[in-house]
């Protein structure tokens, strides 16, 4: 069978070229780009002649994820989506409602190969990268399902975005286009476990997105024990890459620090963390910001969640040393199984029932 065109992965000018090659006017590219961004199926694109709609249905794919499960928080309206992709794989996205607008947390891969010890998403390893259309499709599908505009994106779901670099960069272009969702780069954050070549490459693209680094430790020994990526890119290299990212983009970097009770949450850890960041960024003028998260307990990993008081003490110690720290508010606590757990429970269920097909 001939491969169908993944139309949703194409930018407006690429789509225009594709339609021109088909003998169609170039403006069809922009029309179809806008219609796909609005969640419209080929058969419903009434701006197109009927024959063209039928031709697109036959020869193209609209790689929009479908809602497999949806959990809505009764506390704050947070929505956790389990999306199913065309090949049957499942991923998660989370819609959070803030005063400054709706934020969607999206996945970048099916599974993950980074192996962070506390994380549920990496337990089964990496299955595959998401296509640009499947990254973009999460935003389109969530917005179409919810009915409210999504104005912010965080790439903090399943997967390591910089391990899927080219598709992620393409996605950033797609979601930013004003003919489509028109989401500004400043409203997008990307979180990485610390793939240094990816951080340096991103610095050269000069997208004004916000970069978040999953630090979670203040010594190489501590970090390598919970994040294998640290053996390839130790703290010194990672922080040097962060400094060069800051120098070339002028964008503040945010450091994520997951508090693991009894492992990295002592007053001594807080002091060392503050020193580490201050030393690395000395003379750059960069504001330092640490985002603290109390670990979400994942049965398979055995890490424990400490008390709110101890997290607050850790935060105050950082603040007192001139490092701005915030404790992440937990949205949708009643639906907030740790990222990756909904997908895992679905996979388990399907294995028990002999798969989906
Ligand atoms: N791979 C990317 C993005 C996905 S994870 C990264 O590592 O940054 C998003 C954030 O959640 C990361 O900071 C990650 O370390 C953190 N995280 C993963 N599992 C967690 C858990 N069980 N509890 C709290 N934070 C967790």
38-89 confidence digits (pLDDT tens): 999 999 999 999 999 999 999 999 989 999 999 999 988 999 999 999 999 9
Estimate to the nearest angstrom the gap between the alpha carbon of 73 and the chain centroid: 20
Q: Is the alpha carbon torsion for 225, 226, 232, 238 positive or negative?
A: negative
pLDDT value, residue 355: 46
d(CA 253, CA 255): 7
Return phi, psi of residue 267, to 5°: -55, -35
Residue 92 bears catalytic tag: yes
Whole-angstrom Cα distance, residue 306 to residue 118? 14
In this predicted structure, what is the pLDDT of residue 357? 40
Residue 337: per-residue pLDDT: 58
Residues of the chain where predicted confidence (pLDDT) is lower than 50: 355-357
pLDDT of residue 75: 87
Q: Is 296 in the pocket of ligand 1 (CB under 6 A)?
A: yes
pLDDT digits (tens, 9 = 90+) for 158-168: 999 999 999 99
pTM (2 decimals)? Answer: 0.95
Is 295 near ligand 1, meaning CB less than 6 Å away? yes
Residue nearest (by alpha carbon) to ligand 1 atom 4: 156
Ligand 1 within 6 A of CB of 109: no
Angle at 117 between CA 160 and CA 162, to 5 degrees: 10
């Amino acid at each position: 069978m001939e491969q169908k065109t993944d139309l949703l992965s194409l930018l407006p000018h690429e789509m225009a070229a594709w339609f021109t090659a088909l003998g169609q006017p170039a403006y069809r590219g922009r029309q179809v780009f806008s219609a796909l961004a609005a969640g419209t199926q080929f058969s419903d694109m009434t701006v197109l002649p009927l024959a063209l709609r039928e031709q697109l249905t036959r020869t193209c794919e609209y790689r929009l994820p479908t809602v497999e499960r949806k959990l809505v928080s009764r506390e704050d309206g947070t929505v956790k989506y389990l999306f199913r992709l065309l090949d049957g794989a499942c991923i998660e996205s989370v819609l959070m409602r803030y005063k400054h607008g709706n934020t969607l947390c999206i996945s970048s891969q099916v599974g993950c190969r980074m192996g962070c010890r506390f994380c549920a998403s990496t337990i089964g390893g990496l299955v595959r990268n998401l296509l640009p259309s499947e990254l973009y499709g999460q935003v389109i599908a969530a917005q179409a399902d919810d009915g409210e505009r999504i104005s912010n994106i965080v790439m903090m779901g399943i997967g390591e975005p910089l391990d899927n670099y080219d598709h992620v960069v393409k996605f950033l272009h797609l979601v930013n286009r004003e003919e489509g969702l028109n989401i500004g780069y400043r409203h997008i954050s990307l979180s990485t476990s610390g793939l240094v070549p990816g951080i340096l490459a991103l610095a050269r693209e000069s997208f004004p997105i916000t970069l978040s680094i999953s630090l979670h430790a203040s010594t190489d020994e501590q970090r390598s024990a919970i994040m294998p990526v640290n053996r390839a890119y130790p703290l010194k290299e990672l922080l040097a890459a962060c400094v060069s990212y800051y120098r070339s983009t002028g964008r503040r970097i945010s450091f994520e620090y997951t508090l693991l009770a009894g492992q990295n949450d002592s007053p001594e850890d807080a002091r060392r963390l503050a020193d580490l960041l201050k030393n690395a960024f000395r003379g750059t003028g960069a504001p330092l910001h640490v985002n603290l998260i109390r670990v979400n307990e994942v049965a398979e990993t055995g890490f424990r969640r400490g008390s709110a008081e101890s997290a607050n003490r850790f935060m105050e110690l950082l603040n007192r040393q001139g490092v701005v720290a915030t404790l992440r508010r937990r949205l949708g606590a009643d639906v907030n199984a740790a990222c990756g757990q909904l997908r895992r429970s679905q996979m388990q269920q399907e294995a028990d029932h002999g798969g989906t097909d």
